[in-house]
Every structure is written in structure tokens, then in C-alpha cells.
Amino acid sequence: MKRQLHLNLFIHSRGHHEASWRHSASSPLPLTDIRYYQDLAQRAEAAQFDSVFLADQLALGGDVAQAPRTWLEPITVLAAMAVATSRVALIATASTTYTEPFNLARQFASIDHISRGRAAWNIVTSWLATAAENYGGAGQVSHADRYARGEEFMAVVKALWDSWAADAVVDDRAAGVYALHDRIRSIKHRGDFYTVAGPLNLPRCPQGWPVLVQAGSSDAGRRFAARHADSVFTAHMAKATAQEFYADLKSLAAAEGRAPEQMLILPGLSPMIAGTEAEAQRLAREVNELTDPEVGRRRLSGRFGGYDFSHLPLDRPLSGADFPDPASVEAARSRTEVILNLVKRDKPTLRQLLGYLAGARGHFATAGTPEQIAELIEDWFSDGAADGFNLMPPLLPVQLDAFSTEVIPICSGAGCSAPNTPGQRCVSITVCPGRRASLMIRTGRPSFATAPPAYDRLAVQHLLSRIICRLFRCGLDQSGARRVSDGLSIV
């Protein structure tokens, strides 16, 4: 069976290039105007993207004078997107380091209800030193402690989402019974970091849990993803490192007892697209000329935990000695390693490095024709580097539209099946709709502790309800014919 190419739209500022906000082709709407985000989600849905994604940062950046961000709180934005769309999955970042499990479980369960089963959570452990100052000021949490806290956080939120059985709400007006009390259970969690009684004060959401997304690529991040993630966002500047990551993470997932196909790996891709390669390169140079190297220097410092790069000249070739040891950095180690690998391989000047990072912050940035971008996608997809891509347009919405109208149709006719192929669309981030229910049957983990006979019945109900919900949500196409393959990538 032909593999399905999966596409996520990563919405960031007026585009992923740090100077996108200054370019005349980017959106004129304020970055606090909800219509901007709703419009992008609708464009992605029309182009048959699987999902849209919003990142988050828990502190104001030091480059605010020259670099605006996606300001609005992302979970709130998902609610507004949900009512403006009907099919596209909705992903928001939330931190396990500076959020209480009960609050987060309730928020994402609410979004899943509001969107009728389209919510997804990008799990992060927060590394910004400035974020630590906004949450108690006790100092930056170490890399190891962030992941230890994150593991317990996951256990708590999953237990909260499972604290309501699928059949708990009966809503029987005649009998005067709204819910079956014995189908709602406390979780009584007491651990090293959290004490949570439960249950969640919200009925079980349509998916059971929101879809789980993760983006860490350090050793700890990979093991975390192998245990928890349905989809993984990752950054690679070369196909070879993407292939190594892909093979390693699929192997780790298998070691956790999971089918590797149940976890999608989506590298970031930031293409500048034009009718000719020369025009695409001209556009890329045009946006690069709007950047401020000192903004890039401050961002680079943030990536390396506040390391001081102010003494480095802009036009001297860099070496590994110009950077701190990644093991000593309490920031996002996976991205620091990507940057160091680039420095060791290409020996760029600081100006050149900052120019590259301005495009997509360490993700794969390129410029070319629609045919060249489609060829790159097909190459990575067919050669063990990706299950799809986390699209990061350098300018929004113009480069999203170029990708949707010019690149996707080429992918549809090539060796990979693009999301808008008639009759073949699949809600990719929720690949294997029955996964969690199947997992409960395989491991014996019920929604809450029940006797074995009741558990077997409940597990089957969960499996059937998730499949039926997915079939119902995928719905009919505009002609009224059922899109049989929607949501049916069941492994």
C-alpha cells in the first residue's frame, strides 16, 4: 500500500524568516488579530494539510524591538481556529515544566470537545532561562530534571484523561441521571513532583486523549518521544542526519513495544518558492537583506543558554571552539547540536551562520522552483528521512499559497501520495485511530481500575467509539460521497 505523505503547517509570526514581518508580501494584519490565524488554518485545511501548529515561548524575547512573535496564547487560539475549521487537526505547545497537569489536561480535553476530536498537544520541557524567572525565579531547571518531571507529568495527564469512562455520561432526563458515578474515578496520584487527586472535572473527550506531539531530539528527548509521541517534529540541515534520526527513533519506538508506523516523523522544511530558481534565490536574498545581524547574535546566545557571542567578529570562519560544550547547555540541546554540526561541516562565518538561522532557526531552508521543492520532498520521503514535513513558510501567507497550489499537485503525481490526492486523504497526526484503545487491550491498562470483565467491555467500547468518531468526523466530501480512506491508516 502506498505510504501517505503528511503535512503540518507551522504558523509563526508573519513567516518563519526573522525579517518576514518587514517584507511587503507578508500579511498586513496585526499578530494579535485572530483573523490572521483563522485565515491560515482555513487555507491549510483547503489545501488538505493534516494539521496546523502553534509554538509558544514563556518569556518576552530580548529581540522584541526588531522581531515580533506569535503573541497570542496558543491553546486559546486553537479554540478560535476550531470554530473556523472542520477537518484540520489543531496542535498547540504547552510546557510540562511550568504548567500544572490538571490545568493542562482540562484545557486540551476542552479543545478536543470544542473541535470535535481534533486537538493535539506539542509536549515541551521549557529551557529558556528567562522563562524560569517568570515562574518562581528559582533558577533554570536542569535538562535531566525537566525530563524526569515530564515523565511524571505524562503519567498524571493520561490518568486524568482516562478518569472518565466513555460511557460515563448517560444524560437520561426521564430517569434524572446525568452520569454514572461508578464510571468516574479518582486517580490519587502522589509522586516526586505532583500530587493530584482527580478525577478530571470534564467528561472524556472524543479522542480519549489529544494526539501527542513532541520535538526533542536529544537522547532524553528521543526516548521520551518513543514512549509518548504520535508525531515528532525535528530539525535537520541535511538529509543524512534526518535519516539517522528517523531510523533511530523508529527503532526506539519498536523497543517500547510500539509499531514504528504509529509514530510519524516530520522534519521542518522552509522553502522559498518561485517560478524560476533565480527568482526564488532573489526573493531569499531580498528577505535576508532585511535582517539585523545583532538580532541573530542575541538569538544564538539564547539557543546556547545565554552564552556570550558578542566578542566574535561577523566575518571570521567559525569553529567548534567558538561554542560551549552542548553537554553544559541547559537549553534545547538538540538544536545546539544541529548548529554545531553545521559549523563543523561548513565552517561558515558568523554572518553566514546567522543568515542561515534567520531563515528557519536550524530547520532545512531552501529556495527553488515548485518542481525542485517537490523533488526534495519525494527524495526525503522515499529514502527513509521523513514521513512528511513540518512546513515553515518563510513568508505568510504568500509562500503557503505557493506551496499549496504549485508543490502539492506535483507531489500528488509523483511517487508519494500527497494529502490532497482525491480519495486518499488521511488525518495523519491521528494515524491509527484505535491506537490508544488497542494499547489498553494489549497492555491491560484500562481507563481506570475495574474488574477484568468490565475492563474488557470498556476497552472494546473505547476502540469502537474512537473508530466511529473518526469516521464520523472525516465525513463526506462536497459531492456527498464518503471519503473511505479518511482516518483509516490503521496498523
Look up the pTM and report it: 0.80
Segments in 195-319 forming alpha helices (H):
219-228, 239-255, 277-288, 293-303
All three cell numbers of 61, joined, read: 524575547
Q: For cell 526534495, what's the residue?
A: 376
State the DSSP string of 460-481.
HHHHHHHHHHHHHHH-B-TTS-
* 387/377 Cα distance (integer angstroms): 10
Domain boundaries along the sequence of the chain:
6-425
All three cell numbers of 293, joined, read: 545581524
Please state which CATH number belongs to domain 6-425.
3.20.20.30
Among 458, 489, 486, 481, CA closest to 470: 486
**Residue 224, SS3?**
helix
All three cell numbers of 181, joined, read: 458515578
pLDDT at 227: 96
* 80/387 Cα distance (integer angstroms): 29
pLDDT at 1: 61
pLDDT at 297: 87
* 186/188 Cα distance (integer angstroms): 6
**Residue 392, SS3?**
coil
pLDDT at 224: 95
pLDDT at 328: 72
* 155/341 Cα distance (integer angstroms): 35
Element (H, E) at 402: helix 398-402
All three cell numbers of 356, joined, read: 542561515
The pLDDT averaged over each successive group of 10 residues in the chain (491 residues) is 90 94 96 98 97 92 79 97 98 95 98 98 85 80 87 98 98 98 98 97 97 90 95 94 96 96 96 98 93 84 83 92 79 72 88 82 92 97 97 98 97 58 34 30 32 35 43 38 40 39
